[in-house]
Amino acid sequence: MKQDPFKQSVVKAAKGLWTAFPMILGTILLISLISVLVPKSFYVSVFTKNQFLDSLIGGVIGSISAGNPITSYIFGGEMLKQGVGLIAVTAFLVSWVTVGIIQLPAESSILGKKFAILRNISAFILSIIVALVTVFILGILV
């Protein structure tokens, strides 16, 4: 007997989510653990006030962090107040939302290892380029 196409679509969707379920649940557990383990003061303390090095550090910290973008705005605002450069803060903000080291196992498992690695590496490099271009344009226009 032929199954109802809509029912088939729903079953297929449920199966797809079930396959991704352990990875998603594991990722949320990992994010929760890291968010508790890494103190907020850490984000400001690692910068050197060297523009180039700080943009790299900002990119790296943003990449290994995870959570709501609101948190990154709060940290970013705090960094600016502490004298960290705008390029570094921008690299931090952009990599926070575009690079996902913590989500990498889930991304590799569901979308493929090669894609996940290439996407994250290129997003990291782009976070620094985006930071440089944004601050450059801001300097010209404002």
Partner 1 sequence: MKFKEKIKRIAKSWYFLISIVFIYFLFSLFNKEVYLGSLNFFKDILLKIIPVFILVFVLMSISNYFISPDFVIKHLKEKGTKKWFLVIIGGILSSGPIYMWYPLLADLRNKGLSYGLIACFLYNRAIKITLIPLAIVYFSWQYIVILLVVMIFASVLQGILLNKLMEVKK
Q: What torsion, rounded to 10 degrees, do the Cα atoms 27, 104, 46, 59 define?
A: -130
Q: Which is nearer to partner 1, 46 or 133 (CB)?
A: 133
Q: Which is nearer to partner 1, 47 or 120 (CB)?
A: 120
Judged by CB under 8 A, the residue of 42, 49, 73, 87 near partner 1 is 73
Q: Find the shortest distance in angstroms from Cβ 41 to partner 1.
A: 16
Q: Is 55 in the site for partner 1 (CB under 8 A)?
A: no
Are 62 and 31 contacting, i.e. CB atoms less than 8 angstroms apart?
Answer: no
Q: Find the shortest distance in angstroms from Cβ 110 to partner 1.
A: 4
Are 51 and 83 contacting, i.e. CB atoms less than 8 angstroms apart?
Answer: no
**3-state SS, residue 83:** coil
Question: What is the C-alpha separation between 8 and 139, in angstroms, rounded?
Answer: 55
**Cα dihedral 36, 39, 44, 48 sign:** negative
Binding footprint of partner 1 on the chain (CB under 8 A): 5-6, 8-10, 12-14, 16-17, 19-20, 22-33, 35-37, 69-70, 73-74, 76-77, 80, 86, 90, 93-94, 97-98, 100, 103, 105-107, 109-111, 114-115, 118-119, 122-123, 126, 129-130, 133-134, 137-138, 141-142
